[in-house]
Structure 1
Amino acid sequence: MGIAHSFLWNMEKKSFTFEEIRQKLVNYCVYQDRCHYEVEQKMKEFLLIDEAKEEIMLYLLQENYLNEERFTRSYIRGKFYIKHWGKTKIKIHLKQKQVPEKLINTCFDEIDEQDYNKTIRKIYEDYYSKQKGLKEYQRKSKTIKYLMSRGFEYEKISDNFE
């Protein structure tokens, strides 16, 4: 291990005061909405005792830097309106972030039902039109599989194409 490498390693392990760590976590939450799980993962970068972690979490919650419902609503809007994910895929990703299912289901009202159906139809038509040289049922089945891989529910897909 060369001098430059050990110098970089020492820089990475810089120690911070409680206030500096708290401010870093405030900045982390201000940059974009976070869920509790993401903040807990971020805290692992700092060697904090449990009491310090709890105190920082409490501070972030009290000052509204950390708000699980706001995070969930923002996440749902972004993944649907920007990435065009279906509800199934969104729910799976939120569960991986340890967001409670009840909260996820409550926040799905962020997606307008008409927008949801319109998006299913648009993705269906775009993808379907690109399937060349296949029999009708193959084009349809491939398109349905594609929509399901994007997280749209089979029932919703078939409701839109009966």
Structure 2
Amino acid sequence: MKSVKTYTLEEAKRTLENYCAYQERCHKEVTQKLYNMRMIPEAIDLVVVHLLEHDFLNETRFAKAFVRGKFRFKKWGRRRLEIELKRRDIGRFNILEAFKEISDAEYLSTFHTLAEKKAATITETNPLKKKKKLADFLLYRGWESHLVYDKVNELF
């Protein structure tokens, strides 16, 4: 039978400090990690409080970093960002704070660049199918439908 590593409270704190220092984490990721380490609920609460007190864990900071990263590198729109943050149990206030990280000008510029780049790669000859492919691509990335449909009609 495989032996399961057990952690003392101090070992768990150090492990999670390193986990949070490596990259921003949300509360949900941290509690899941602690459950996977087979920590009891009381210990999980103590470790989370310790991480909060020592600023290893900060939901607002996590939300801002998440939005900046996914927007800049994956070119996600606000809808997708909001859905992904809600999936991580991030509150409304933190989501709105995080969206302030992206200026409207940068947001629209990224959207237009992404749409035009993708439109140039679609080889479909049927104009309706072409429109659908571009719209599906942009909607999946979380861009607002009014932006998507205006752009699709402008391009084709």
TM-score, length-scaled by structure 1: 0.86
Whole-angstrom CA distance in 2 between matches of 1:133 and 1:42 = 45
Greater alpha carbon shift after TM alignment, 95-104 vs 134-143: 134-143
Q: What is the aligned length?
A: 153
Instruction: Give 1:143's aligned residue.
Output: 134
- 2:80 counterpart of 1:89: yes
Distance 1:146 1:47, change over 3 A: closer
Task: Encode CA deviations 1:55-112: one digit per residue, 9 max, x unaligned.
Answer: 1111100100000000000000000001111111111111111111232122101112
The counterpart of 2:45, out of the listed 30, 45, 54, is 54
Who is 2:103 aligned against?
A: 112
Indicate which of 39, 50, 54 corresponds to 1:63.
54
Where does residue 44 of structure 1 map in the other structure? Answer: 35
Percent identical across equivalent pairs? 34
Q: Please report how far the alpha carbon of residue 53 of structure 1 lies from its aligned counterpart in structure 2 after TM superposition.
A: 1.6
What letter is aligned with 1:111?
I
Distance 2:124 2:54 in 1: 59
Match of 1:82, SS state, is helix
Aligned: 1:154 with 2:125: no
**Corresponding residue for 1:123?**
114
By how many angstroms is 1:51 displaced?
2.5
SS of residue paired to 1:110: coil
In structure 2, C-alpha distance between the alignment counterparts of 1:159 and 1:107, rounded to whole Å = 26
Q: Is the 8 A contact 2:60 2:97 kept in 1?
A: no
The separation in 1 between residues aligned to 2:40 and 2:136, in whole angstroms, is 48
Alignment of 1:8-23 (within 5 A): 9-10=2-3, 13-23=4-14
The higher radius of gyration belongs to 1
Which structure 2 residue ranges, 5 or more long, are not aligned? none
TM-score of the superposed pair, with normalisation by structure 2: 0.89
1:117 CA drift (Å): 0.9
Question: Partner of 2:71 in structure 1?
Answer: 80
The CA RMSD over aligned residues, in Å, is 1.7
Contact residue 26 and residue 57 of structure 2 kept, 8 A: yes
Conservation of the 8 A alpha-carbon contact between 2:64 and 2:97: no
- Alpha-carbon separation, structure 2, partners of 1:36 and 1:123: 32
